[in-house]
Structure 1
Amino acid sequence: MKLRIATYNIHKGVSSLRGMPRVHALKQALASMESDIFFLQEVQGRHDKYAMRHADVWPEEAQHQFLAGDSHQAVYGMNAVYDHGHHGNALLSRFPVLSSINRDVSDHAFEARGILHCVVQAPKADLHCYVIHLGLFARSRRRQTEALIEAVQTSSPPDAPLVIAGDFNDWTNELSDSLRQHLGVTEVFDKDLSSRGFGAYMRMLAGRGPKMKPARTFPAALPWLRLDRIYVRGLEIESAQVLHGGLWAKLSDHAPIVASLALR
């Protein structure tokens, strides 16, 4: 089974500098990725102020429904709620979504965060998908990662293929080793080192070899920080790339990651 997936923090569908609506351009950009499953963060479920101010270009339906269109099924996990609207994570799937649950992992009152878990009926296997957006503070991220590990261990069989993707805000790359050790996952940009052999991979885990580094995805105009991730288990990584350049710099402050996978 071949599978193409993408993770993207869409910045609530507005440009990062002037706050201008980019939802229609985002929909075209997502279509150009030709991904079977999208893991999206900062999806605007409702925003009354933008809807009034930009009535001519702001979709009447929620962003996850608008972006999914007729080709994908949309599931939304509402995290942050305020007087004029709410936002959260979303999963768009070309395949049927069998079940979904949104787990609150907010660590304090100023950052509402969640883990959106969906079971997708992909060809030949059910795929467990976790959409993540971790906090801005290191201690919060560590506690949220512990909650993620516990959620995966209790909500998916140990041999089930899975994808964990999203905005981890982990620019110091402190969380990857814990996810690898407890969940047996591989980050899609681990491929170069892991291809050198099992010994090299184990030396890395033990801290005696070169450390794997995720891709740079932020800011989108000139990616420098390594914030976004795709971790997989039970899937072969065929390729992975960051999409950046003039178009992507106008849509969001993050650059998307697209990966081609195959079921083992």
Structure 2
Amino acid sequence: MNPPATSFRVATYNIHKGVQGIGPARRLEIHNLGHAIEQLDADIICLQEVRKMNRQAAARFHRWPELPQADFLAPEGYTAVYETNAITKHGEHGNALLTRWPVLRKTHQDISDHRFEQRGLLHVAIDLDGRTVHTIVVHLGLIKGSRIRQIAQLREFVEREIPPGEALVVAGDFNDWGARMRYAMNAMGMRDSSDLRGPRTLTYPSRLPVAQLDFIYGRQVEPVASAVPRGPIWARMSDHLPLVTDFSLSKQ
């Protein structure tokens, strides 16, 4: 009998709807993203800007997947969980979570702050060898005031839905220039996995990163290492780079 798992890897990645470039130069990157996500070898993968469907893109790109992007990107043996945040003229997109561990339950909450930005949080409870690990995928607003109010909604959700003694990870695109939301997250007992001694984990823009907009926070877990894959291939697939963090479970 194998001993219970005490460590796990989390990745967060804004995939830019699987398409890069503008105008006639737009190109389909969803197939490359599938290979890249598999290479991350993460137990939990948090994705933002994931398309469930898009009629315009499907008509433009002859290799557009028949499956929703979350299911298409899930490596073999993984479970895909998706919830729509935004409904547009040609389709809909939202947050997704892929995991190699069993899913216990999922919850979704609309955290839109105004009608021009449709945002949501996706909560998935995962069974990691008998321990429940709660993961929340977020994509916060572009306006600072919106982010402050959305973090307040996140805190209310956590206090209402997640027992204080259970492991919790919050990951996603915080749109947080200067890591100003870190203080509010710390006040919730959440530690930023990037706040470790080591190379800076800059994720945006992917071709020449100058800022970290993507974060992974944890409670009742200990961050061990955090890294951002770099190189020409990663730079072309999305305007963000993925952030990857290894955690160990705190002792019960």
Q: Distance in 2 between matches of 1:172 and 1:214?
A: 13
Deviations 1:86-139 (A, max 9, x none): 000000010111111110000111100000001011123111100000000011
Alignment of 1:87-102 (within 5 A): 87-102=93-108
Match of 2:51 in 1: 44
Q: Distance in 2 between matches of 1:234 and 1:19?
A: 42
Match of 1:6 in 2: 11
Tell me by how many angstroms 1:52 deviates.
1.2
TM-score for both structures, normalised by structure 1: 0.89
Tell me by how many angstroms 1:256 deviates.
0.4
Match of 2:35 in 1: 28
Q: Distance in 1 between matches of 2:206 and 2:217?
A: 21
1:148 aligns with 2:134: no
Q: Distance in 1 between matches of 2:164 and 2:213?
A: 27
Tell me by how many angstroms 1:54 deviates.
1.0
**Structure ranking higher in helix proportion:** 1
1:227 aligns with 2:213: yes
Q: Distance in 2 between matches of 1:69 and 1:229?
A: 23
Match of 1:80 in 2: 86
Q: Secondary structure at the match of 1:190?
A: coil
1:108 aligns with 2:108: no
Q: Distance in 2 between matches of 1:223 and 1:16?
A: 17
170, 177, 182: which one aligns with 1:171: 177
Aligned length: 243
Q: Distance in 2 between matches of 1:36 and 1:89?
A: 17
Query: Does the CA-based 8 Å contact 2:15-2:237 persist in structure 1?
Result: yes
Cα distance, 1:129–1:74 mapped onto 2, change above 3 Å = same
Q: Distance in 1 between matches of 2:31 and 2:127?
A: 28
Q: Distance in 1 between matches of 2:49 and 2:87?
A: 12
TM-score for both structures, normalised by structure 2: 0.93
Match of 2:3 in 1: none
Q: Distance in 2 between matches of 1:126 and 1:249?
A: 34
Question: Structure 1 segments of 4 or more deviating over 4 A?
Answer: none
Q: Distance in 1 between matches of 2:18 and 2:128?
A: 28
Q: Secondary structure at the match of 2:81?
A: strand
Match of 2:238 in 1: 252
Q: Distance in 1 between matches of 2:11 and 2:75?
A: 17
Q: Indicate the percent of aligned positions where both proteins have the same amino acid.
A: 42
User: RMSD of aligned C-alpha atoms?
Assistant: 1.5
